Amino acid sequence: MNTLPQEIKLIFLIALLIVVLFVAFIIFVVLMYNRKQLIYLKEKQLQLAEHQNQLLQKELEKQKSIEQERERISHDMHDDLGAGISALKLQAEFLKQKAEDGDLQNDIDELLKTSEEMNLSMREMLWSLNSGNDTLGSFIDYAIQYTSNFLKRTKIKLSSESEDIISGTPISTELRRNMFLCLKEALNNAYKHSQSNQLKLSFVQKDKEFIMKISDNGVGIQDEHAEGNGLRNMKRRMQEQKGECQILKESPGTQIIFKITI
């Protein structure tokens, strides 16, 4: 009678051991599966990171190639086109000295004026192409220089100020070009319509926001010019760069404010 309980106990222990071994086996299988999944995911992440690095490397090489091409075009324009414009200007000045007819001299003056305009346009293009100018400080320096040259032969006096500008802040070539074209349009409007004798350029940097203000003390924007092509173009350019253009009527004058995230 005592052997039966002993056998039952033995069977129970064996069954319990089998269950424990089975559970341990299941845990082992799950752990191995998870380990393989982790290894698989890590390999995938490494492959993805390697692929992204390759794409980044290709993009960097592409950007480098574009910059080299820009530099080449810039040098070619400076050496060839610049020299040609200078030679044309010298020849026109030489002809003007020899010309006696008044109409001919006027024509030569127009030719000299055109060559000077071409020279200025070429300098603008060279500045736009040079990737070394893709900084906020370079843009501000050129904006002040251009405005000073633009107003040099007018009655408008220029003043400028900069606030909290970090000169080395990088900006894209496209943004730099569009901001400059907005500046040109604002200067043209001030010269043609404002009847002002003072113009002020202000540049402010607040964290990631850059603000350029162009203020004059003229008669203000007249109703017939309130929605002109120039003002629409400035607003469109800033919208394309995810920025904004505000035109405020002051007393006296006008203030045009350009805001952009850099």
Of the candidates 251, 258, 84, 92, the one whose C-alpha atom is nearest the C-alpha of residue 181 is: 258
DSSP structure string for 126-193: HHHH-GGG-BHHHHHHHHHHHHHHHHTTSSPEEEEEEES--TT-B--HHHHHHHHHHHHHHHHHIIII
Alpha carbon distance 30, 4 (integer Å): 39
What's the pLDDT tens digit per position in 200-210? 999 999 988 99
What's the pLDDT at 77?
66
| Cα maximum dimension of the chain | 147
User: Tokens 């030489």 correspond to what residue?
Assistant: 94
Extract the residue ranges of the chain whose pLDDT is less than 70: 1-4, 74-82, 221-228
Provide the 10 A C-beta neighbour count for residue 3. 7
Could you tell me the CATH superfamily of domain 134-262? Histidine kinase-like ATPase, C-terminal domain (3.30.565.10)
What's the pLDDT tens digit per position in 16-75? 888 888 888 889 888 888 888 889 888 888 888 888 888 888 887 777 777 777 777 766
What's the pLDDT at 184?
92
